[in-house]
Structure 1
Amino acid sequence: MATDDGASTTFDSDEVKEMYCEECEKHGDGYTPAVAFCVDCVEYKCVTCQKYHKRQSKTHKIQDSDSMPQDFYLEKCYNHPQQLIKFYCSECSKEACKKCKDNEHVKCSDVNHLPTVASGIQNSDELKDLQQKLDKMTVYIKDTEKLLNDNSKVVHKQEEQAIEACKEHKDKLIEA
């Protein structure tokens, strides 16, 4: 998981500067910088955790800091609050943490690591279409806001005219 100040959440606008060891975070050892990524476990590891992981899981593919993905996760799993959502099941159209993936999506054949699913999205037709629709919606919202402001001015002016007409009518009634 990555943060830029050691907090456990980031925001879309935050600049991600460093990946942190997920094993250390899980066990309450704080935020230790990650130097490796286990492709099989889909976890970032610090020097110490990587050392022990290599001993226990000799067949796992490990990426070093130069080749490990620079992604980060923001949401914790609803069912497993200690787990981060890292996977997406295309068959179920659901996000999943590691435990959910291992338990609820065992029979699913299309469960992928989120960065893999999201790769190439910057150049996708869907994103371009969404951006065009958002641009149109922005123009529509601005036009609607202007119309509301104009209508508000008209209503305010009508209110002032109604108050003045009431005053004039009252004055005529008092004079009579």
Structure 2
Amino acid sequence: MDQFLIELSEAKETQASSDVDAKTIKCTNCTDDAPATSSCVECAEYICESCVQAHQRLKFTRNHTINTKEEALIDDKTTTNDEKMLMCHVHPQEKLSLFCETCDISTCRDCQLVDHRYHKYKDANETRATLKLLLNELTYKRDLLNSEIKAIDEREKLIADGKEKLVTKITNMVVRITNTVYMRGKQLEMRLSEVCDGESLDQCNDRSC
């Protein structure tokens, strides 16, 4: 019972701490130190109401996904380490949410606005989706190629086995023919000896040997 009360107390403290954190989160997109009300998925930032409106007005960010602050907090708890590593090394607070097609590299929003301002770019999620399709197609073609290679290997094995059997068959046939010719030769020799011996005997009888 005491253990249950302790665990219940700890759970309440954790929940309270989480609620305090949610209330104290500030907007990381502006310098007004305003409390955050939402979160931009592509920018990976907590933003205030003014920044939400700015996101919706700007062509560069109008298609970004805006979640509530509470949804973002849940996502942060379930985010993997690999996902957390997708941050810009130049601007650590910025997520690599874009892909510069001119330079063929992933960039964050700030990098694209400064170092890649006039470059052609796409949303990183769109690029990932394209790469995923290409990877799936490549995997399919690889599996198809492996299947063809396997079929060729099996056919080559059948040819090799057939050749070995045919060579064995020819060898056995040659041996049989050779033996037959040899035996026939012996039979002819014996027959010749019999004929010759018979003629010699007849000649001897005619002469009254």
TM above 0.5, one fold? Answer: no
Give the TM-score, by structure 2 length.
0.34
Which of the pair has more CA radius of gyration?
Answer: 2
Which structure has more relative contact order (CA 8 Å, sep 6+)? It is: 1
| Structure 1 or 2: more helix by fraction | 2
